[in-house]
Structure 1
């Protein structure tokens, strides 16, 4: 058990001496500074404090210290740990201050984009609480749930912001709570009772090659600007598309040494901190965008490859202006506002065209877009041959810019999209249809004269045996032979037929 005594240490030039509470634990001394001051008149000949007020105040503090330590097993604590616990153990900690410190450490590790997300999340939480000094005691499950509910109108922030703040809370618990010694400064974790919603499902942003051809050949809207945003947006969109979906932040950050032997060699900013191969990638600059590289080439003494940093202060500013320019061009083309494109549209488009129209597998598309696709450790061991990605990129460029071939996009449909929205029948077309129950073909028809899917299903259902129990599902596979298109429908006996 620790022992306590009120003492003084040293004398100031003005004659006053600071009062301390000396802590003795395991024969080692520690000191807790108080706000009390005395002079030599309040000391006895043996240097003992005799001021009754100071002694009474210190006695009350010592009683409090003893009461708190009696609830702990401090047999293995050092005197420094005892002093630290007594000085701060019961004080509430400022969550806002700790979060800002946590974010600063992210910046020091060059996690700039992640730090920005955390900063935005903290700012939103502080606006909800109405203070920039949120304390840990204020983080109750009820209040956090109310804060999350205020984010329900957002698409992504309703999941991202709470996850960020939960990570800050977890880091604080690991830093402040000493479970070995039972010293818990953060005693309650409200996140166990909080349900964080999932962000909205990502909308497929890809456009068809036909729409790409229209976009890149559309006339630029009139402007008085020397460097109009629509022109910038169109040029950067073409760079993104023709560099295998390269992100704008990576285009902005390119250095002179990243461009060698006709290839751009870079580390993807979004994932280089988390991958064993540093997300390194090489993509060949195809002739179609060589003029754009030369158009935006930075000066010889500039460390950057392209001059975008001269015009924009950050990659975020660059991306925002590129998107603004793309939207201005979309508006001039008469595209509805809800369908306006962004720079990311052309990254999605590259992957979609590569898979749908150029015969690439999902793994090949992932490799070409510099996704990890589950082999980050292996990629860290071997020297990668990037030529398959170059060849695929050339195929995508040829299909979009140097052909009039129609895309296969639109033949696949989303889960929530009605099948008959894309699958139509005509009485003049040949239809071949089958009805399946538990994998067995129970009826089939091959004929013309069907105007709707329901007519085909009715014909097939009329041929089904009566032995199928009510409530069982039957699959109807219908093929438009002339159009070479097929759709599958499911109906339940007793409801659908």
Structure 2
């Protein structure tokens, strides 16, 4: 445990024959000193021990107030003191005495500011993170103000609360992971391990164990199911849009709904930066896909002067567009007996058919899905060959929309 004492360093006499009173903190056999605003003359010093005189000494009384406050802070930190170096603990105490400690870094204030920065920079995922943080605050109430108020025990209780609210395991993991996200961002901003400055010393996630994620049911559809969706008939306009958007996504290598919402044409191709990952990749997650003939009728159906499709004119944001798609795909899934049909199934199905039915390499499947290759250095030297995506997409479209071609090829063998 750290110890605290007011001291005078004899060799640091000033020109005016005074000494600065310092507060010495000893921690892990290391010593660090905090200067105080107090200076004393010899008459306030015990010359035998060269320590502050205790009796009739107003400087001693003033310094001891700070010493007691520091000792109280050490007690409050408890085992978390072990996360500090002696110098770091000194800096923490200086901030605490000046009113600029972890007590000024409020968890929810920081979380909202951090996620708002995400939103302002174009990372709209910050909106969903904010929603999850609000859920945590409604659970925690006034019990959480500072980062140090969040413990592994509290996370266990929050998990139990979410289970009682009938959240899925995947959702529980997502909701608690957002709390961890805030912790890591705050530590990165306020802690400096190199200099021992630790304003956020605790880490409740060192003990908390996330629930095990269940093995997810595969969402890939068969070629027959995809064609059944393409041929599904309905008079409901919203269901028609969901049906068509699903097939459009499939015809564009499983394009995400947000990218479909903003898509534009460039000389017979769809060029875009995948919005989900462009901020985290050097290439801005750029991809180019050729417009195949099967896509033309859909482009004509949703013709627009500004974007490739007019979806954005009926839905104010891509989030509303995505929600509408998934809500109406449930109608189609129910009628076609496709359990749990979602828009993401178009992407998953394209990838599965490309790999399993067309024999396309994993690298080419990943490229078509606009995933990071894992070969960052090599990628810097190699120009992207979009024809690989075009060839893969053509094979997938043929096997789903023109199975007779495969039969003809077999007959000719």
Fold match (TM-score > 0.5): yes
Listed one character per residue, the Cα deviations across residues 45-91 of structure 1 (whole Å, up to 9, x for unaligned) are: xxxxxxxxxxx9x997754224456999679989x994675323373
Aligned equivalents of 1:370, 1:94: Cα separation in 2? 38
Aligned equivalents of 1:298, 1:132: Cα separation in 2? 52
Quote the offset at 1:173 in angstroms: 3.0
Cα distance, 1:204–1:74 mapped onto 2, change above 3 Å: closer
Paired residue secondary structure (2:319): helix
8 A contact 2:263–2:308 mirrored in 1: yes
Quote the offset at 1:271 in angstroms: 1.8
Larger % of helix: which?
A: 2
1:307 maps onto 2:313 in alignment: no
Aligned equivalents of 2:154, 2:95: Cα separation in 1? 33
Q: Which residue of 2 aligns with 1:247?
A: 256
Counterpart pick for 2:174 among 141, 145, 160: 160
Cα distance, 1:148–1:297 mapped onto 2, change above 3 Å: same
Aligned equivalents of 1:148, 1:268: Cα separation in 2? 33
Paired residue secondary structure (1:266): strand
Q: Which residue of 2 aligns with 1:360?
A: 360
Q: Which residue of 2 aligns with 1:491?
A: none
Q: Which residue of 1 aligns with 2:65?
A: 64
Quote the offset at 1:264 in angstroms: 0.5
1:231 maps onto 2:243 in alignment: no
Cα distance, 1:183–1:87 mapped onto 2, change above 3 Å: farther
Aligned equivalents of 1:90, 1:123: Cα separation in 2? 21
Q: Which residue of 1 aligns with 2:350?
A: 350
Quote the offset at 1:406 in angstroms: 9.3
Cα distance, 1:295–1:172 mapped onto 2, change above 3 Å: same
Aligned equivalents of 2:353, 2:229: Cα separation in 1? 16
Paired residue secondary structure (2:169): coil
Pairs aligned (count): 344
8 A contact 2:277–2:284 mirrored in 1: yes
Listed one character per residue, the Cα deviations across residues 363-402 of structure 1 (whole Å, up to 9, x for unaligned) are: 2222222222322443344321111211121121111112
Written as runs of structure 1 = structure 2, the 5 A alignment for 1:81-480 is 82=94, 85-89=97-101, 91=103, 93-113=105-125, 115-131=126-142, 134-152=145-163, 153-177=167-191, 179=193, 184-220=198-234, 222-223=235-236, 228-255=237-264, 259-299=265-305, 302=306, 304-333=307-336, 335=337, 339-403=339-403
Larger radius of gyration: 1
TM-score (normalised: structure 1): 0.61
Quote the offset at 1:219 in angstroms: 1.8
Aligned equivalents of 1:218, 1:192: Cα separation in 2? 51
8 A contact 2:88–2:196 mirrored in 1: no
Listed one character per residue, the Cα deviations across residues 215-257 of structure 1 (whole Å, up to 9, x for unaligned) are: 211221x44xxxx1111011101111111111111111224xx
Aligned equivalents of 1:274, 1:97: Cα separation in 2? 25
Aligned-pair Cα RMSD in Å:
3.5
8 A contact 2:366–2:372 mirrored in 1: yes
Cα distance, 1:140–1:235 mapped onto 2, change above 3 Å: same
Quote the offset at 1:276 in angstroms: 2.5
Structure number with the bigger relative contact order (C-alpha 8 A, sep ≥ 6) is 2
Unaligned runs of 5+ in 1: 5-21, 27-55, 408-497
Paired residue secondary structure (1:264): strand
8 A contact 1:277–1:376 mirrored in 2: no
Cα distance, 1:61–1:166 mapped onto 2, change above 3 Å: farther
8 A contact 1:276–1:379 mirrored in 2: no
8 A contact 1:276–1:377 mirrored in 2: no
TM-score (normalised: structure 2): 0.73
Quote the offset at 1:120 in angstroms: 3.0
Paired residue secondary structure (2:253): coil
